[in-house]
Structure 1
Amino acid sequence: MDRSMSVSLWCEEVEDDQSQNQGQREAGARAPSQLRAAWDPTVSGHRVIQRLLHVEERYIPSMLYITLIQRDPERREELAKWALEVCCECGCDETVFPLSVSLMDRFLSASLSLPVSPYCLAAGCILIASKLSECDSVTADTLCAAAEYSFQPSDLREMERVILATLRWDTAAVTPQDFLPHFLASVQERGDSDEELLCTLRRHSDTLAAMCVCDSRFLGAPPSLVAAASLNCALRGLGNKGPTQLALTSETLAGLCQTDLIVLQCYSEMIEYGLRQRLRSGLQQLPTEKDEEVESERPGTPTDMREIDF
């Protein structure tokens, strides 16, 4: 190799003018818009799923914390809902929210006490998760503004150091969103090759998985089981498969997450029940006509998580 030749590792990849203009027109989007790599099928398959299953147990909170939270879940769900709203308003990647809540649960599991400013804790977890998952991370000033300046950027940076020290910098936790693309690839291998259908299925699954993250009843569930149950509910909600196909898909998902089929069906029913509760509470907050009735049948899964009253 010629030593006189200059070698640069700077990424010179640029977007075309049309993509840049479109990104500038999007309201609330952070500039510049991100360049995302396409899905690589070589990093999927049973080997990757087995590795995720082996690692996920390390990031489940302690049973003592789970018991305490499930006795009084309101405060934790309030912080999770606020984190979801901030992630949606900032246009964060779908992996930021579940990772931030996982960091918050693990921190509280280790300390078993809320800090003076709980929203500063939630904001610090969002900041760390955004730095791990995105090229253009959320700024400290943005998070302070979202909390109506109940804390300052210096407080947020100090909280970030406390979280990292408590978790010993082990922040790349496994979440349900880590399993969803691999489970979807397995569903695609069974003959569902319609790209539009798969994109809709992914959005529905992300919505249901985010709902489970907010719901303290799913706090002790493995991320793989939450992802499989969310995908199973999304398939049933779309209504484009017969009972036999749904049964085969459920068996496949149960095998992928190494759980019993009855357990998967139980969690799927819990998700559907939670979805009905939130849709019903959202409808009760809206003015309705006297002749309108709320159907008690299984609801179709909404494509946007903000359609659900978390």
Structure 2
Amino acid sequence: MSGWVWSEEAGEGARGARVLDRLLRLQEKYLPSAPYVALVQKEPETRDALLKWALEVCWEQGCVASVFPLAVSLLDRCLSTSTSLPVSPACLAAACILIASKLAGGRVVDPDALSAAAAASFLPGHLRDMESVVLATLRWDVAAVTPHDFLPHFLALLPDEGDGFLSAVRRLGDSLVALCVSDARLLGVPPAAVAAAALSSAWRALGGTDPIGSTLARLCGVEKAALQYCCELMEGVTAECLGIWEKQAWHPDGESPGDEVTDDRASTPTDLRQIRF
């Protein structure tokens, strides 16, 4: 017999590498069409408003972090098949949230709650009909690859700086992904690049000392300069959101603008540490 000994850690690492490779190969399949991306980026207001409402609904309904990015993917792919909006865009967005919540494995969002969140602009029965339309349009291929899927695999390959640092990076990364999949400027960017940019931005915001840009760029298969560009776009999006929250005296975690941030890690020009959903 050879002296080869099975290592559980090595086995887990090999499985993780295979999963990551599969996600990277599949992600292009779930990108919206180029004409749709161009159209939305030319006039992003309708999509931005619709997804802002959808994100608020996901917050209010206590959805797990994977629901909103998947709902956005379903919405964009549906709209990619036609350049015209349905009679009730809110009903379409709600149907995508409903499907995503069923796939996420957590609590399924109540159709009545979705109808109420839209001020009864559609009825639960209409929502079930729209759900069927979405499933038919996408031919039941609804388990899309999103940025959220890449986060745990990237984090597993990053250095741990202790004191729950990676957990904090993951929480902030989830929040940044939620903000950025709803912004038209990042529409069409591969999910792996969005996830890598979210982790890179979160890492710097929380004071990470080990440079990870090259590692993340290699993992998601893009040039380091391209990843840096995604990070700059992402931090611009979050800066705008923070400005809006401060003007409205409202924060997702219930803090007022005057509350002190007690984390003594290094700050950044855009204080991403305030983003906690």
TM-score (norm 1): 0.77
**Separation of aligned partners in 1, 2:82 and 2:163:** 45
Superposed CA offset, 1:169-222 (max 9, x none): 0000000000000001011xx3x1636211111011011111111111000100
Q: Which residue of 1 aligns with 2:182?
A: 214
Q: Which residue of 1 aligns with 2:202?
A: 234
Q: Which residue of 2 aligns with 1:260?
A: 223
Q: For residue 194 of structure 2, what is the amino acid of its counterpart?
A: V
The structure number with the bigger radius of gyration is 1
Q: How far did 1:65 drift?
A: 0.3
Note if contact 1:77-1:214 (Cα within 8 Å) is conserved in structure 2: yes
Selected match of 1:177 from 145, 148, 165 = 148
Selected match of 1:270 from 221, 228, 233 = 233
Q: Which residue of 1 aligns with 2:115?
A: 144
Note if contact 2:205-2:268 (Cα within 8 Å) is conserved in structure 1: no
Q: How far did 1:145 drift?
A: 1.3
Q: How far did 1:135 drift?
A: 4.3
Selected match of 2:66 from 88, 95, 103 = 95
Selected match of 1:281 from 244, 251, 267 = 244
Selected match of 2:54 from 70, 80, 83 = 83
Secondary structure at 2:175 match in 1 = helix
**Separation of aligned partners in 2, 1:196 and 1:50:** 27
C-alpha distance 288-42 of structure 1, shift in aligned 2 (>3 A): closer
Q: How far did 1:72 drift?
A: 0.7
Q: How far did 1:44 drift?
A: 5.3
**Separation of aligned partners in 2, 1:288 and 1:207:** 18
Q: For residue 49 of structure 2, what is the amino acid of its counterpart?
A: E
Of stretches 296-305 and 160-169 in structure 1, the one that deviates more from structure 2 is 296-305
**Separation of aligned partners in 1, 2:268 and 2:208:** 20
C-alpha distance 142-41 of structure 1, shift in aligned 2 (>3 A): farther
Note if contact 1:200-1:303 (Cα within 8 Å) is conserved in structure 2: no
Q: For residue 245 of structure 2, what is the amino acid of its counterpart?
A: G
**Separation of aligned partners in 2, 1:186 and 1:288:** 35
Q: For residue 218 of structure 2, what is the amino acid of its counterpart?
A: G
Note if contact 1:97-1:126 (Cα within 8 Å) is conserved in structure 2: yes
**Separation of aligned partners in 2, 1:223 and 1:240:** 23
Q: For residue 299 of structure 1, what is the amino acid of its counterpart?
A: D
Q: How far did 1:300 drift?
A: 3.3
Selected match of 2:78 from 99, 103, 107 = 107
C-alpha distance 43-141 of structure 1, shift in aligned 2 (>3 A): farther
Secondary structure at 1:45 match in 2 = helix
Q: Which residue of 1 aligns with 2:165?
A: 197
- Where do residues 295-310 of structure 1 align in structure 2 (5 Å cutoff)? 297-305=269-277
Q: Which residue of 2 aligns with 1:51?
A: 22
Note if contact 2:176-2:275 (Cα within 8 Å) is conserved in structure 1: no
Note if contact 1:44-1:182 (Cα within 8 Å) is conserved in structure 2: no
Q: Which residue of 2 aligns with 1:22?
A: none
Superposed CA offset, 1:101-155 (max 9, x none): 1100000001221110110000000111111112431121111111111111111
Q: Which residue of 2 aligns with 1:124?
A: 95
Gaps of 5+ in 1: 1-39, 290-294, 306-310
Note if contact 1:207-1:302 (Cα within 8 Å) is conserved in structure 2: no
Q: For residue 261 of structure 1, what is the amino acid of its counterpart?
A: K
Secondary structure at 2:108 match in 1 = coil
Secondary structure at 1:93 match in 2 = coil
**Separation of aligned partners in 1, 2:87 and 2:227:** 39
TM-score (norm 2): 0.86
**Separation of aligned partners in 1, 2:184 and 2:15:** 30
Note if contact 2:73-2:144 (Cα within 8 Å) is conserved in structure 1: yes
Secondary structure at 1:168 match in 2 = coil
Give me the identity figure in percent: 50
**Separation of aligned partners in 2, 1:104 and 1:133:** 16
Of stretches 129-138 and 153-162 in structure 1, the one that deviates more from structure 2 is 129-138
Q: How far did 1:273 drift?
A: 1.7
